[in-house]
């Protein structure tokens, strides 16, 4: 467990997701952090340049590999830029919590973890951190998608795969995974293990997937057909939705479904007492969510050109 402590000051947090390696969005983010000095910054996955989910490689089992390498983007851009920001802000540098997403190859965990060891950020997938009076959890997996890269895909609550999607064991991997994990692991079981019996009243959960059938997971304006089979326009996780309903964390953060706010008219939702926010966006702007964990209902989203 990471013990993350920030200096006293502003309680405002920033949340971004799905930047997909766009340097101009990162530059806008760095500028906003330097100017506003948030207490914490959350990055919700799909951080690296595009190409992973459709990348080359062979299909199949635990030995399958995809030729995907974005480590240079991490070591030549992300780490130096975050390090410069840390040097500039000193004690006002925010605690940075991040996960990867389904378009980020798992081979990139190595440089991400190396930078975490140097204090640049906290890598949060399947991890827990104490920050001020809050618990932070991170989880990167999404339910099966139509894309080929399966490093960050899991069955959701069962072995069902939506029409048009590819099962985890039928796609490609950038690193080998045990076959039983590919075929039998589920998001539902992972979340039980991750959070255990922790009290989540003051918990912030950083996901890549949104919860199912909410304002945050719609990818089409109305039902569509794949052949003669209706396509579910909601791509979120049933397991995450049920987990939120049952455990009621304070705040959940999500990405993945870029179009959802455009189709639903909202980038946030409320499930019981839990406030759920998405920073995914399908326009050219940086979608920056600002929230105060002491008063989540005041959260706002700005689209920065």
Mean pLDDT across the stretch 219-248? 88
What pLDDT sits at residue 226? 72
Q: Is the pLDDT of residue 6 over 60?
A: no
Does domain 2-304 sit in CATH 3.60.21.10?
yes
Least confident stretch, 77-86, 126-135, 186-195, 227-236? 227-236
What pLDDT sits at residue 224? 74
Q: Half-sphere exposure of residue 202, counting CA atoms within 13 Å on the CB side?
A: 8
Rounded CA-CA distance 66/54 in Å is: 10
Q: For residue range 37-77, list pLDDT tens digits in order.
A: 999 999 999 999 986 444 333 333 444 445 456 779 999 99
What pLDDT sits at residue 71? 72
Q: Specify whether the CB–CB gap between 182 and 61 falls below 8 A.
A: yes
Collapsed DSSP state (helix, strand, coil) of residue 194 = helix
At residue 269 the predicted structure's pLDDT band, cuts being 50, 70 and 90, is: very high
DSSP string, 46-78: --SPS-STT-----SSTT-------HHHIIIII
Collapsed DSSP state (helix, strand, coil) of residue 120 = coil
At residue 231 the predicted structure's pLDDT band, cuts being 50, 70 and 90, is: confident
What pLDDT sits at residue 50? 82
What pLDDT sits at residue 59? 36
Mean pLDDT across the stretch 238-246? 98
Structure-token pair, residue 17: 């997701």
Q: Is the pLDDT of residue 248 over 50?
A: yes
Structure-token pair, residue 185: 């692991």
Structure-token pair, residue 62: 């635990």
Q: From the CB of residue 37, how many other CB atoms can be counted at a distance below 10 Å?
A: 15
What pLDDT sits at residue 222? 75
Spell out the domain ranges in the chain: 2-304
Which residue, chain included where needed, has tokens 């104490």? 130
Structure-token pair, residue 205: 């959960």
Containing 225, the helix (H) or strand (E) segment is: strand 224-226
Structure-token pair, residue 261: 């706010």
Q: Half-sphere exposure of residue 287, counting CA atoms within 13 Å on the CB side?
A: 28
Angstrom CA distances, 97 to 130, 135, 225, stand at: 11, 12, 38
DSSP secondary structure letter of residue 192: H
Angle between helical axes of 238-247 and 187-195 (0-180°, round to 10):
30
Mean pLDDT across the stretch 13-39? 98
At residue 150 the predicted structure's pLDDT band, cuts being 50, 70 and 90, is: very high
What pLDDT sits at residue 267? 98
At residue 230 the predicted structure's pLDDT band, cuts being 50, 70 and 90, is: confident
């Amino acid at each position: 467990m990471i013990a993350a402590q920030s200096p006293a000051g502003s309680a405002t947090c920033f949340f971004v997701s799905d930047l997909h390696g766009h340097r101009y969005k990162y530059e806008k983010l760095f500028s906003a952090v330097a100017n506003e000095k948030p207490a914490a910054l959350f990055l919700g996955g799909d951080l690296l340049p595009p190409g992973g989910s459709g990348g080359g490689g062979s299909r199949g089992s635990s030995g399958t590999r995809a030729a995907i390498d974005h480590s240079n983007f991490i070591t030549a851009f992300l780490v130096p830029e975050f390090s410069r920001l840390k040097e500039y802000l000193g004690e006002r540098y925010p605690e940075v919590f991040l996960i990867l997403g389904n378009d980020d190859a798992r081979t990139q965990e190595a440089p991400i973890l190396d930078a975490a060891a140097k204090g640049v950020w906290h890598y949060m997938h399947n991890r827990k951190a104490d920050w001020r009076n809050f618990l932070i959890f991170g989880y990167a997996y999404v339910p099966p998608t139509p894309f080929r890269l399966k490093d960050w895909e899991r069955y959701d609550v069962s072995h069902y795969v939506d029409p048009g999607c590819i099962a985890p064991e039928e796609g490609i991997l950038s690193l080998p995974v045990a076959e039983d994990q590919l075929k039998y692991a589920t998001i539902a079981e992972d979340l039980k293990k991750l959070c255990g019996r922790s009290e989540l009243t003051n918990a912030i959960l950083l996901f890549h997937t949104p919860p199912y059938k909410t304002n945050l997971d719609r990818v089409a304006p109305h039902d569509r057909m794949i052949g003669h089979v209706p396509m579910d326009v909601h791509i979120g996780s049933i397991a995450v939705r049920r987990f939120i309903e049952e455990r009621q964390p304070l705040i959940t953060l999500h990405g993945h479904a870029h179009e959802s706010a455009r189709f639903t008219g909202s980038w946030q939702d409320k499930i019981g007492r839990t406030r759920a926010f998405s920073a995914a966006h399908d326009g050219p702007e940086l979608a920056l969510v600002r929230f105060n964990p002491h008063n989540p209902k005041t959260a706002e989203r700005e689209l920065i050109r």
